[in-house]
Structure 1
Amino acid sequence: MSTRTTEHKEGKATVKVVYYTSKTLADGAHPFVVRITKNRKQVYRYTGLSLLPKYWNADKKEIRRSYPEPKREELLKELEKWRKKYEAAADILAENDEEHDAKAVFKKAVEGRKAQRRVKLLAFIEELATSMITTGQVGNAGVYRDLGNQLAKFIGAESNAPEPPIGKGLIAAKAAWIKQYDVPLDHITVAFCNEWEATLRATGITEITLSLRFRTLRTVFNKAIAAGLVKASNYPFTANAAERHKFQVGKFDVTTAKRAISREELRKLEALEPVNDRQKLAKDVFLFSFYCGGINFVDLAQLRWRNLEGVNEQGYPVRLNYKRQKTGGKFSLPLLNPAALMLTSYKRFTFSSPDSYIFPILDLQKHQNPDQVKNRLHKVLGQVNKDLKELGKQAGIAAPLTTYVARHSFATTLKMRGENTAVISQAMGHKSESVTAVYLDSFASDVVDAAFKGLL
């Protein structure tokens, strides 16, 4: 006698985010719900997101283009997060071949959320910093780690914990401290921000540093929301004018003294003869930054000969192509004669292969890992800025010169010559200027190239 068995294969639940017109909210909007269908049975869960009917295209079942940006894009992203979250739960149950109904999908998704909530504030900040280091964003990682260190001090004082171990060689001790005294991400409330601000102010901290700390904390919170680690409803920062009861990151006074010099003052620096190689490097760094879109020191120091493209009739390189360390943005700039001539003068000293650094700041043999590069850049930048201040005095320039002044001078010179702010922003890579960015894509590269001629 033979027996025959039939293998059971559990089907997968279908997940869809639906504009639920059967329910009308107080403001006339309809909510979006997640609909799970399994074995012809459906269950619904509210997402907390809604939309007025005038912005919904019932025929195409999509949000109309008339819904203002960036709200439309943000809403679409949030809806997609909800769908993916429950889609992942449905996938897991189907792959495990577990017999289940639609409600089980929601239960599985809730289990995932509970697991995610175990990630805490300081641990999440350290995770972000570590991720940045692996992608070469050492400077940004330092900003995040500094935030974590300052928060650890405050959190420790709040709970009468011992001073957090901070510094090189204390990685294990710091990790152990965080594990014991860390707080949930939703510990960041309006009250927490107000108390931390008062504590920081008592130390005599500057407004600019306060702004940096809280802007970074706000970014951390936004990343945590995007990762599903904390609810958007717990957001403690002001998102619009109506939320004055929340913490306002924009309240800090970040105005500074004049940082740009005039084109006439820059010509004085160009005409100045440095007394030694160190001053020559400082002068060249400043002028190259000015002529190349305000390129910052970190990017300039890491330029290699392979970043140059083309050669003109005089044998000078034609373009500079590089990737900005801070944002990852890609730049292609025309090399004006003063900058091209400067590069040519360095070639016989620093060129050994296309991978060689252009400027004599980093050494391929000595500076191989991110920490070595970071430490070297920090040391040289301090010396360059010191030398620039001395050069400025010699040239009769009143404003103290720094590499940052070169960046400001580039923008100011073009603005004084009537260039469009959006073109200047594109040349400088101001990705954070979202309003300007809407228009930037429409500018052809030759428009930006033409703007550079105003520097001469």
Structure 2
Amino acid sequence: MRSKTTEHKEGKATVKIVYFTSKTLADGSHPFVVRVTKNRKQVYRYTGLSLHPKHWNATKKEIRRTYPDKLREDLLDKLDGWRKKYEEAATTLAGNDEQHDAETVFKKAIEGRQAQRRVKLLAYIEELAVGMVAAGQVGNAGVYRDLANQLAKFIGAEYSAPEPPLGKGQEVEKAAWVKQHDIPFDRVSVTFCNEWEATLRATGVEEITLSLRFRTLRAVLNKAIDAELAKAENYPFARTVTERRKFQVGKFDVTTAKRAISRDELRKLEALQPATDRQGLAKDVFLFSFYCGGINFVDLAQLRWQDLTGTDEHGRPQRLSYVRQKTGGKFAFKLLAPAATIVAAYRPFTFAGLASYVFPVLDSRKHQAATQIKNRLHKVLGQVNKDLKELGKQAGIATPLTTYVARHSMATTLKQDGNSTAVISQLMGHKSEAVTAVYLDSFASDIIDSAFDSLL
């Protein structure tokens, strides 16, 4: 008896992991995709893994050897796991002599991943965070883990279960709690989102934080759908304005309150004599940011003496060049006298070679790993903003001072002096003038108010 088979020997589909440079993610990285080719037709699926181009050797088409070994090995293992899943499906289909195309390979792989389909929300978020850390995206990983922690609290309250332990040495207990009280993706419904929003609002969470958490949750579900772990028909978020019954992430008011101070107020801060070295650092951070195009704290804290060049007649540096951590954008400009004076004052205390940090925030001997640097910056930023608020009160400035106020103030001052939004946008490293416009909202309001005053 002949076995049931096709009239021809069915060929095997080829499976390859591709660094997909045609797609650029928000953090500047490119995603890795699985490419299945059958009968000259190619089909792609995202893996959820990505890598910044500075770590990719385009000539050899491989991860650069300079990428940390542990992170490199972890990423390669994950990518190999994706390849094997679809390679096995392709081998099975060819071995069974089943007529098929590239899409069939993906469907077959899904059948073999039924156990993986039971991956739940919190576990998946942690999986994404681990992948981000491996790719050097420590900041993004922190955002995703914060989301998971907040969702865990909400889920715990819903189940009337105690919150997971968060102390050191209790990781095992926390993992067990998450596994026990995790929820499947289809539980994240419109009702779930509405109830979580109400819970967050009851604790006083601000609009901008609500927007961030729901945008991150939406991104998690999008990734889960792309990875075929969640069903698109259960998606709770509105994709268009016509989907009024679904959860609208765009409803949150993320416009900023007035966060710029005037030149006169800046002079008051400059004249103030801080009582402690810590307050002195906070004052210097604010003023240096203002006079250096609104450089943000993360970039400021990681400036090294090699980024400063030239000297004037007083021995102060004349130019600053640096790469913005968030976007990879390159900046180079002259240092105004106030900024040059600030860094010159730190030279006797922090200069131990061109590679040493300018400001006394990071210690290259202590803070080496990306996580160590992130934690240190987070801690010191909190201290700086706390001290700035106190300094603002002492100087009689009504607006609560933060490092972001320095950035807003710089933008507003330039606009008042007649500089175009396009120039300010380029100086601040924004991707579009629309982003810069957010910083200038309060300025626009002042202009309108003045216009009405002219009617009197």
After superposition, the CA RMSD in angstroms is 3.8
Classify 1:88/1:381 alpha carbon distance in 2 versus 1 (closer, same or farther; 3 Å): closer
Cα deviation 1:76-127 (Å, max 9, x = unaligned): xxxxxxxxx9999479625996252333765542242352534321112112
- Taking a change above 3 Å as real, the CA distance of residues 405 and 172 of structure 1, as seen in their structure-2 partners, is same
1:401 corresponds to 2:398: no
- Partners of 1:186 and 1:113 lie apart in 2 by 18
Q: For 1:81-96, what aligned pairs fall within 5 Å after superposition?
A: 89=86, 93=90
Structure 2 partner of 1:147: 147
Q: 2:211 aligned with 1:214, yes or no?
A: no
How much does 1:352 deviate?
0.9
Higher alpha-carbon deviation: 135-144 or 117-126:
135-144
Tell me, what secondary structure is at the counterpart of 1:103? coil
**Relative to 1, partners in 2 of residues 1:254 and 1:223: Cα closer, same or farther, differing over 3 Å?**
same
Q: Which residue of 1 aligns with 2:390?
A: 390
Q: Contact between 2:218 and 2:237, CA under 8 Å: does it hold in 1?
A: yes
CA contact under 8 A between 1:318 and 1:335: conserved in structure 2?
yes
In structure 1, runs of 5+ residues without a counterpart are 1-7, 16-34, 48-84, 438-456
Q: 1:163 to 1:268 in 2, by over 3 A?
A: closer
2:103 is the alignment partner of 1:102 = no
Tell me whether 1:293 sits opposite 2:293 in the alignment.
yes
Displacement of 1:191 in angstroms is 1.8
1:415 corresponds to which residue?
Answer: 415
Q: How much does 1:286 deviate? A: 0.2
Q: Deviations over 1:184-223 (max 9, x none)?
A: 2333221211121123233343333322321221222233
Separation of aligned partners in 2, 1:233 and 1:137: 30
1:112/1:280 CA distance change after superposition, 3 Å: same
Structure 2 match to 1:318: 319
Match of 1:54 in 2: none
**CA pair 328-100 structure 1, distance change in 2 beyond 3 A:** farther
- Residues 233 and 288 of structure 1: is their aligned pair in 2 closer, same or farther, counting only changes over 3 Å? farther
Distance 1:306 1:135, change over 3 A: farther
For 1:311, what is the secondary structure of its paired residue?
strand
Q: CA deviation at 1:351?
A: 1.2
After TM superposition, list the pairs within 5 Å mapping 1:171-320 onto structure 2. Answer: 171-308=171-308, 310-311=309-310, 314=313, 316-320=317-321
1:290 touches 1:406 (CA, 8 Å); kept in 2?
yes
- For the residues of structure 1 that align with 2:126 and 2:132, how far apart are their CA atoms? 10
Evaluate the alpha carbon distance shift between residue 254 and residue 347 of structure 1 in structure 2; reply closer, same or farther with a 3 A threshold.
same
Corresponding residue for residue 62 of structure 1 = none
Q: Secondary structure at the match of 1:117?
A: helix
1:37, distance to aligned residue in structure 2 (A): 6.4
| Structure 1 residue matching 2:230: 3-state secondary structure | coil
**Residue identity opposite 1:383 in structure 2:** Q
Q: What is the correspondence of 1:372-383 to structure 2 with a 5 Å cutoff?
A: 372-383=372-383
Distance 2:225 2:119 in 1: 12
Letter matched to residue 245 of structure 2 = H
Contact kept, 8 Å, 1:89 with 1:105, in 2: the verdict is no
Structure 2 residue runs of 5 or longer lacking an equivalent are 1-7, 16-35, 46-81, 437-456
TM-score with structure 1 setting the length: 0.69
- How far apart in 1 are the matches of 2:362 and 2:267? 28
Residue 262 to residue 360, structure 1, CA distance change in 2 (3 Å): same
> Counterparts in 2 of 1:35-54, with a 5 A limit?
none
Asked if structure 2 preserves the Cα contact closer than 8 Å seen for 1:293 and 1:333, the reply is no
Deviation at 1:158, TM superposition (A): 3.5
Distance in 2 between the 1:127 and 1:92 partners?
23
CA separation in 2, counterparts of 1:208 and 1:141?
19
Residues 254 and 362 from structure 1, CA distance in 2 versus in 1: closer, same or farther, beyond 3 angstroms?
Answer: same
3-state DSSP of counterpart to 1:405: helix
Separation in 2 of the partners of 1:246 and 1:434? 30
How far did 1:274 drift?
3.4
Does the Cα contact within 8 Å between 1:147 and 1:217 map onto a contact in 2?
Answer: yes
Give 1:113's aligned residue.
Answer: 110
CA distance in 2, matches of 1:226, 1:416: 46
Distance 1:210 1:342, change over 3 A: same
One-letter identity of the residue aligned with 2:319: V
Q: Tell me, yes or no, if the aligned pair for 2:85 and 2:109 is still in contact at 8 Å.
A: no
| Percent pairwise identity | 63
Hey, what's the Cα distance between the residues in 2 that align with 1:287 and 1:223? 41
CA distance in 2 between counterparts of 1:272 and 1:400 reads 16
Q: Note the C-alpha offset of 1:360.
A: 0.8
Conservation of the 8 A alpha-carbon contact between 1:154 and 1:196? yes
Q: Distance in 2 between matches of 1:389 and 1:436?
A: 26
- 1-structure distance, mates of 2:129, 2:94: 38
Choose 1 or 2 for highest CA Rg: 1
2 CA distance for matches of 1:123 and 1:297?
32
Is 1:348 matched with 2:348?
yes
Amino acid at match of 1:380: V
Local SS of the residue matching 1:294: coil
Cα distance, 1:256 vs structure 2: 4.6
Report if the CA contact (8 A) 1:236-1:246 is conserved: yes
2:269–2:391 contact (8 Å) kept in structure 1: yes
Distance across 1 between alignment mates of 2:378 and 2:189: 35
Q: Which is further off, 359-368 or 404-413?
A: 359-368
> 1:374–1:195: structure 2 CA closer, same or farther, 3 Å change rule?
same
Please tell me the residue identity of whatever aligns with 1:295. I
Name the CA shift for 1:137/1:298 in 2 (closer, same or farther; >3 Å). farther
Is 1:284–1:342's contact at 8 Å kept on the other side of the alignment? yes
Q: SS of the residue aligned with 2:95?
A: coil
Paired residues of 1:149 and 1:166 also in contact (CA < 8 A): no
Residue 247 (structure 1) shift: 0.6
User: Secondary structure at 1:122's aligned position in 2?
Assistant: helix
Question: What is the distance in 1 between the residues matched to 2:353 and 2:120?
Answer: 47
Q: Is the 8 A contact 2:12 2:93 kept in 1?
A: no
Q: Give me the whole-angstrom Cα distance separating, in 2, the residues matched to 1:239 and 1:192.
A: 18
Supply the distance in 1 between the matched residues of 2:245 and 2:261 (Cα, whole angstroms).
Answer: 41
The one-letter code sitting in structure 2 at the alignment partner of 1:110 is K
* Partners of 2:100 and 2:94 in 1: CA distance: 16
Residues 13, 37 of structure 1: 8 Å contact kept? yes
What SS does the aligned partner of 1:356 have? coil
The 1:164/1:248 distance shift into structure 2, 3 A limit, reads: same
Change (3 A) 1:296 1:251: same
